[in-house]
Amino acid sequence: MVVKVRIRGELLEYLLELSRDFYPNEFAGFLREKDGILEEVLIAPGGHFGPASAFFNTWLLPLDGEIKGTVHSHPDHVCQPSPQDLWFFSKFGGFHLIICYPYSPEDVRAYDSEGNPVEIEVVP
């Protein structure tokens, strides 16, 4: 069985734009799911977004059962999760997107909470 994450095309384009806007720094956010499709991103307030990491206080996130994963950018060509990414993935479950430079649709990878690759399906 192929594990797949479904994401709205509009959201994917927005995430690519955010990645470009934050460059040369990373950005990070949380993904909301509705009816099995990732549809929104939440950027936690008061975060620090630097060239090698992103940090935010998860206590500032709303209690939201629709948060099903995370997204962050890598300002280099490496789309593989780092040990820190894997630790973070394990805390939030669901699906996790990494968007690496130069931030085109081909530069997006999805992983499960253990860091295993997951197929991405873009839906209208």
**Do 54 and 72 meet the contact criterion of CB atoms below 8 Å apart?**
yes
Catalytic, out of 26, 33, 40, 121:
26
CA distances (Å), 40 to each of 82, 86, 88, 112, in order? 24, 22, 19, 18
The tally of CA atoms less than 13 A away on the side-chain side of residue 79 is 20
> Is 121 among the residues known to form the active site?
no
> Quick one: tokens of 23?
């460059």
Q: For the chain, how many helices (H) and strands (E)?
A: 2, 9
Return the bridge partners of 71, or none: 29, 97
- Catalogue the active-site residues: 26
